[in-house]
């Protein structure tokens, strides 16, 4: 009888631990879902007003949502005592639409299907009121990184953002956490210098924000840079910096392949 009682006690403890872990993971998933507008960030898939200018035929291109497949996301939670890490993974299918002039000056449109993967990482602590998300709160997050192939074909080492007396920072293409409420704030109309460091001289790099797109140019230091004027309307925006393999835009027989990151910011 004592052995049976001991077995039941152990079984009860194991079930309790298992249920508590599931409850923790469910609580964290609920937090992420409640903050989905700020955590589940993707780049814009719509036509942009700026035409791309280059030595090749394409004169207009943009990404659009897939007509057959929809966006999906998963959350992988790893709980360790009163801390937890979560990986948000978004699968984003789409179509790259490209227009160019052929040798007879006729306008030709080609469509390249793609599936991009977007990743964002979150850190949680269990140290608040237990009745609210079982005591869990979101503490730190990362930027959103995306790629088409893993490992990415486009090489980006780091990105520097500079505006005199406002910002001077370098962003690495790895998992760097920052406080969840930290967000870049830039005065309206400020010119932001963006420098992208890469050993990849064949890919093309762009910056997107507020339905505008500008290409970064290869400079004398063998880096890519551009001066981008921030929007005039004061609100929250996304700054998307990405690169495409040369064949993505320059060759209708080669597939789409990209890599980049998404940074939130506020124009004040």
Complete DSSP assignment for the chain: -HHHHHHHHHHHHHHHHHHHHHHHHHHHHHHHHHTHHHHS-----S--SSPP-SSSSEEEEEEEE-SS---EEEEEEEEETTEEEEEEEEEEEEEEEEEEE-TTS-EEEEEEEEEEEEEEEEEEEE-S-TTTGGGEEEEEE--EEEESSSS-SS---EEEEEETTTEEEEEESS---EETT--EEE-TT-EEEEEEE-S-SSSEEEEEETTEEEE-EE-TTS-EEEEEEPPSS-SEEEEEEEEE-HHHHH-TTS---EEEEEEEEEE-
Give the mean model confidence (pLDDT) for residues 191-218: 93
Number of domains in the chain: 1
pLDDT of residue 48: 56
pLDDT of residue 20: 54
Count Cβ atoms within 10 A of the Cβ of residue 214 and give its class: 0-12 exposed, 13-18 middle, 19 or more buried. middle
Give the separation between CA 200 and CA 130, rounded to whole angstroms.
50
pLDDT of residue 54: 37
pLDDT of residue 7: 39
Report whether 115 contacts 92 (CB < 8 A): yes
Is the predicted pLDDT of residue 16 greater than 50, yes or no? no
Q: What angle do CA 145, 148, 152 make, to 5 degrees?
A: 75
Highest mean pLDDT among 11-15, 34-38, 48-52, 146-150: 146-150
pLDDT of residue 221: 83
pLDDT of residue 171: 92
pLDDT of residue 38: 84
pLDDT of residue 55: 38
CA 267 vs CA 39, 169, 206, 219, 255: distances in Å:
19, 17, 20, 28, 36
Per-residue confidence band for 44, with pLDDT thresholds at 50, 70 and 90? confident
Identify the CA nearest to 120 among candidates 91, 70, 86, 92.
Answer: 86
- What is the CB neighbour count within 10 angstroms for residue 215? 14
> What's the full length of the chain, in residues?
268
CA 219 vs CA 153, 204, 216: distances in Å:
22, 13, 9
Give the mean model confidence (pLDDT) for residues 132-158: 94
Identify the CA nearest to 135 among candidates 28, 254, 56.
Answer: 28
Percent of the chain at pLDDT > 90 equals 58
pLDDT of residue 57: 61
Give the mean model confidence (pLDDT) for residues 56-80: 88
Picking from 66-80, 96-110, 159-173, 229-243, which range would have the lowest pLDDT averaged per residue?
A: 96-110
pLDDT of residue 114: 96
Domain that holds residue 253: 2-267
pLDDT tens by residue, 71-107: 999 999 999 999 999 999 999 999 999 988 877 788 8
């Amino acid at each position: 009888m004592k052995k049976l009682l001991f077995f039941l006690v152990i079984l009860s403890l194991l079930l309790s631990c298992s249920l508590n872990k599931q409850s923790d993971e469910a609580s964290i998933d609920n937090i992420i879902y409640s903050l989905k507008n700020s955590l589940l960030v993707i780049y814009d898939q719509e036509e942009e007003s700026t035409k791309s200018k280059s030595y090749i035929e394409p004169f207009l291109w943009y990404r659009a949502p897939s007509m057959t497949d929809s966006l999906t996301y998963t959350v992988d939670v790893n709980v360790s005592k009163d801390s937890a890490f979560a990986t948000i993974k978004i699968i984003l299918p789409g179509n790259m639409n490209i227009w160019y002039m052929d040798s007879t000056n006729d306008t030709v449109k080609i469509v390249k299907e793609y599936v991009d993967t977007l990743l964002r990482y979150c850190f949680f602590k269990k140290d608040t009121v237990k009745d609210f998300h079982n005591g869990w709160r979101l503490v730190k997050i990362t930027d959103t990184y995306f790629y088409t192939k893993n490992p990415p074909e486009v090489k980006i080492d780091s990105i520097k953002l500079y505006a005199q007396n406002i910002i001077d920072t370098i962003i690495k293409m790895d998992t760097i956490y920052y406080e969840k409420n930290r967000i870049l704030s830039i005065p309206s109309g400020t010119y932001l210098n963006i420098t992208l460091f890469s050993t990849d001289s064949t890919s093309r790099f762009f910056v997107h924000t507020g339905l505008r797109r500008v290409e970064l140019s290869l400079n004398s230091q063998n880096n890519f840079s551009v001066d981008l004027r921030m929007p005039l309307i004061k609100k929250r925006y996304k700054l998307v910096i990405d690169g495409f393999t040369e064949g993505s835009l320059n060759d209708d027989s080669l597939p789409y392949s990209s890599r980049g990151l998404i940074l939130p910011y506020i124009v004040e």
